[in-house]
């Protein structure tokens, strides 16, 4: 066959099957190699890779939906980045049906990680979705439906319950710093404060508020706001 320029050759049918033969120069000799062997066993470096397939491969990256990227293993989707920028772990676009854990684990005895899952199997630390920094004593878990728990030393210390109540399991609620207290903002802004000295002329609060005086005595330890909206109207009890 007469020599031809590459531009004169008939276009190949793509995608290639891998059995096609290509000429290459190896050493000082021109030899042949199959298309499948050109990069077999070689690391491929690229600034970016454009993914075009829309079906989950056995193991790889594909496009499950418009503007979304999925990663599959064993032929099933395990991770998806949605068009909105969300990272979903589990073979689904429905966050409520996720069934695979997202785990960041230091591998050491002092864990630092995230476990988010709602299935009944494969628990890593304990039941429920959790955020762990055990060395720093931050543990947030969800061992029960619609309950958010806070733990230290592996023990439940407090929880937000399904009805919205916060329950202290052990320990005290401490207000650190001067002038701190409880503020019932949803009930007219009524407060309960503590501090030295009388609140009269010093603490602004609505009627119904309480003040516990740390340096008080008989009949001057507890004060109740009985009138006004400013810092007067406190009555010692």
Residue 126 · residue 139 · CB < 8 Å: no
* Residue 70 in this model has a pLDDT that exceeds 60: yes
Strands (DSSP E) found in the chain: 21-26, 29-34, 60-62, 69-73, 76-81, 87-89, 102-103, 112-116, 130-133, 138-141, 148-152, 155-160, 166-168, 181-184, 190-195, 210-213, 222-225, 234-236
State the pTM of this model: 0.43
Domain boundaries, the chain: 60-97, 102-168, 181-236
pLDDT-derived band at 136, boundaries 50, 70, 90: very low
Tokens 């009805």 correspond to: 163
pLDDT value of position 104: 44
**pLDDT (average), residues 32-39:** 88
pLDDT value of position 120: 39
Regarding predicted confidence, which is higher, 101 or 25?
25
Say how far apart CA 117 and CA 114 lie, in whole Å: 10
∠ CA 61-16-58, nearest 5°, is 30
Six-digit token string for 176: 């650190």
Six-digit token string for 88: 């979903």
Out of 138-147, 158-167, 201-210, which region has the weakest mean confidence (pLDDT)?
Answer: 138-147
Regarding predicted confidence, which is higher, 50 or 236?
236
The DSSP result for 158-193, as a single string, is EEE-TTS-EEE-SS-----STT-EEEEGGGTTEEEE
Closest CA to 167 of 187, 155, 149, 151: 149
Q: Percent of the chain scored above 90 by pLDDT?
A: 25
Summarised one tens digit per residue, pLDDT across range 174-191 is: 777 766 788 888 778 899
**pLDDT (average), residues 211-215:** 93
* Residue 125 in this model has a pLDDT that exceeds 50: no
pLDDT value of position 31: 93
Say how far apart CA 206 and CA 101 lie, in whole Å: 49
Summarised one tens digit per residue, pLDDT across range 89-122 is: 664 444 444 344 444 444 444 444 455 444 434 4
Residue 219 · residue 228 · CB < 8 Å: no
Residue 149 · residue 156 · CB < 8 Å: yes
pLDDT value of position 17: 87
pLDDT value of position 213: 93
pLDDT value of position 51: 86
């Amino acid at each position: 066959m007469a020599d031809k320029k590459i531009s004169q050759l008939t276009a190949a049918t793509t995608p290639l099957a891998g059995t096609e033969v290509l000429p290459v120069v190896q050493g000082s000799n021109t030899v042949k190699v199959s298309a499948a062997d050109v990069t077999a066993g070689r690391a491929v470096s690229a600034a970016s890779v454009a993914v075009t397939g829309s079906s989950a491969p056995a193991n790889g990256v594909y496009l499950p939906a418009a503007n979304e990227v999925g990663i599959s293993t064993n032929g099933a989707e395990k991770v998806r980045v949605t068009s909105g920028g969300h990272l979903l772990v589990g073979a689904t676009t429905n966050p409520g049906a996720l069934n695979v854990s997202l785990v960041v684990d230091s591998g050491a005895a002092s864990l630092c990680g995230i476990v988010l899952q709602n299935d009944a199997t494969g628990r890593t630390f304990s039941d429920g979705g959790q955020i762990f920094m055990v060395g720093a004593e931050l543990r947030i878990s969800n061992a029960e439906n619609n309950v958010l728990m806070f733990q230290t030393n592996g023990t439940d210390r407090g929880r937000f319950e399904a009805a919205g109540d916060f329950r202290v399991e052990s320990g005290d609620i401490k207000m650190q710093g001067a002038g701190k207290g409880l503020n019932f903002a949803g009930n007219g802004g009524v407060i309960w404060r503590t501090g030295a000295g009388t609140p009269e002329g010093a603490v602004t609060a609505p009627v119904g508020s309480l003040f516990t005086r740390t340096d008080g005595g008989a009949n001057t330890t507890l004060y109740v706001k009985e009138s006004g909206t400013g810092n007067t109207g406190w009555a010692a009890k």
